[in-house]
Structure 1
Amino acid sequence: MTGRIVVGVDGSAPATAAVEWAAADARRRGLDLRIVHVCEQWPHGPGEFSAEYCAGALEAAADRARELAGSVEVTTELRAGNVIDDLIDESASADSVVLGSRGLDGFSGMVLGSVSMAVAGHARDPVVIVRGPGGEEHGRIVIGYDGSEHSEAAMQYAIDQACSRPARLHVLYAWQLPIFSPYAAGYNSLLEEAFQHEVRIAGERVVPWSEKNPDVEITDEQLCEHPAGALIKAAATADLVVVGSRGLGGFASAVLGSVGHAVLHHATCPVAVVRPRQKRP
């Protein structure tokens, strides 16, 4: 990891929103900002995505970033290659990567483009997906936390974000009851006991974080519902939702769990997907 944020741009409105979010984050946390435009080589030859267009989009993004970033150092690079591969490569030496939810190549009916999804699923460090221009600020960050290795990394990122803003941090744990036959009434008391056990354990997991970070206002909530639905609802009054790339229910081979996938597609505020940092050789 280095002290810089990387933002990928392509001239689209969501990319501009990503630049604005990244510039504000870099200013708050005292990090450098690197703006990258990957000018892909299309087999049909130059068109609207010509080198001239790419350079113009990069320059416009840099101008907007410098308006917002204060004394932050802003650098740019125009690259030729594969946008997904290049942005994943950039993540190997960055604090985080910030992208718009959908680029110029996205279909109008899609809320999340293929580039954003691929980078969120494979980048080595946190990826923040920004849907649109910043709106009302709520002073609240929401994190989905289940005690898994991935959610531990997400919690640290959420703490850092809360410290820099400042903002309250709301820790959400949602547990979905197993599905039983409606005739299995005898299981009701067992299920209630199981849920209360989950509630107690989830609350206990938050205590050490509160003790280590007394300057951050941390609240926690345990709900009996699907985690994705709970986080999407909480996003309506949050400035940022943070999720681990995979939780306890994830398959070992999955690069992005079902909860993270759903939140990326449906949350209305920026979403950060965090995976445990790998040791660099």
Structure 2
Amino acid sequence: MTGQIVVGVDGSAPANAAVEWAALDARRRGLDLRLVHVCEHWRHGGETKYCAGTLDAAADRARAIGGVKVTSELLPGEVAPTLIAESATADSIVIGSRGLGGFKGLVMGSVSVAVAGHAEGPVVVVRGPAPIEHGRIVVGYDGSEHASAAMEYAIAQARHRDAELHVVYGWTMPAYSPYAVAYNALVEEIMHEESRAARERVEPWRERNPDVRITDEDACEHPVALLIEASRQADLVVVGSRGRGGLAAAVLGSVSHGVLHHVISPVAVVRPRPEEES
């Protein structure tokens, strides 16, 4: 991993917003910015010229932010595999939610889903410019390995922004017949235990990071719905690529997939790097 944020650019409006988001993030965190444009039709001179122009325009946009070192490179190949390869040595990857080749009705393009599902480390997906700043980072945390990697990234983001970190945990009730004996008492016991466990999982993070304002919320509600609601007042939503309920073979869990498709604010999907995974 290097001290640089890598941004995939293609001239689309979401990609331009991603460049601006990444430049501001790099400036806050004291990192360099590397812009890459993958020119899939490398052998055709006219298309290569267009690719170079797209990259130059993105670099000008990033340098206009100021306070950050910007480099750029035109790369051959396919977009998603190239960006995934870049993630192995990057601090993080930042991309727009969909590119020029996507259908206008889609909120997420195939490239952004593929990169978020396979890249190492954090992948930030940006839909558009943020109209206002809320001073709040939201993170979904269920105690899993991937959620812990997400928490580490969220804390760093909150610290560099001097923002509040709001930790969210949602769960769904097991299926019980309402006619079962002591049904109400059982439901109350489960809800109490889930809330207690959620608070206890957050406490060590507070103790280790006394300089970060950490609040928490838990509810008997689907995690995606809870995160969507919390995102309405968030500058960034952070989730692990998959949680405790995910299959080992899944690259994106249902929560990260749902958040990517429904949250308007920038979303960071975080997977532990190979050296961090047990």
Contact (CA 8 Å) 1:174, 1:223: kept in 2 or not?
Answer: yes
Q: Distance between the aligned counterparts of 2:180 and 2:250, measured in 1?
A: 33
Amino acid at match of 1:171: V
- RMSD of the alignment, in Å? 1.5
1:56 maps to 53
2:180 maps to 184
Residue 166 (structure 2) aligned to one of 161, 167, 170: 170
2:16 maps to 16
The aligned runs of 1:107-186 (5 Å cut-off) are: 107-184=103-180, 186=182
Q: Distance between the aligned counterparts of 1:180 and 1:219, measured in 2?
A: 32
What is the Cα deviation at residue 267 of structure 1?
0.2
Q: State the TM-score, normalizing by the size of structure 2.
A: 0.96
1:28 maps to 28
Residue 100 (structure 1) aligned to one of 87, 90, 96: 96
The superposition leaves residues 86-123 of structure 1 with CA deviations (integer Å, 9 ceiling, x where unpaired) of 00000000000000001001101100000000000000
2:228 maps to 232
Moved over 6 A (4+): none
Gaps of 5+ in 1: none
Q: Distance between the aligned counterparts of 2:176 and 2:39, measured in 1?
A: 53
Q: Distance between the aligned counterparts of 2:102 and 2:59, measured in 1?
A: 23
2:80 maps to 84
SS in 2 for 1:142: strand
Contact (CA 8 Å) 1:18, 1:129: kept in 2 or not?
Answer: yes
Residue 204 (structure 1) aligned to one of 200, 203, 212: 200
SS in 1 for 2:182: helix
What is the Cα deviation at residue 182 of structure 1?
4.1
Contact (CA 8 Å) 2:177, 2:183: kept in 1 or not?
Answer: no
Whether 1:249 and 2:252 are equivalent positions in the alignment is no
Q: In the comparison of the two structures, how many residue pairs are matched? A: 276
Gaps of 5+ in 2: none
Q: State the TM-score, normalizing by the size of structure 1.
A: 0.95
Contact (CA 8 Å) 1:141, 1:170: kept in 2 or not?
Answer: yes
Amino acid at match of 1:224: C
Contact (CA 8 Å) 1:26, 1:69: kept in 2 or not?
Answer: no
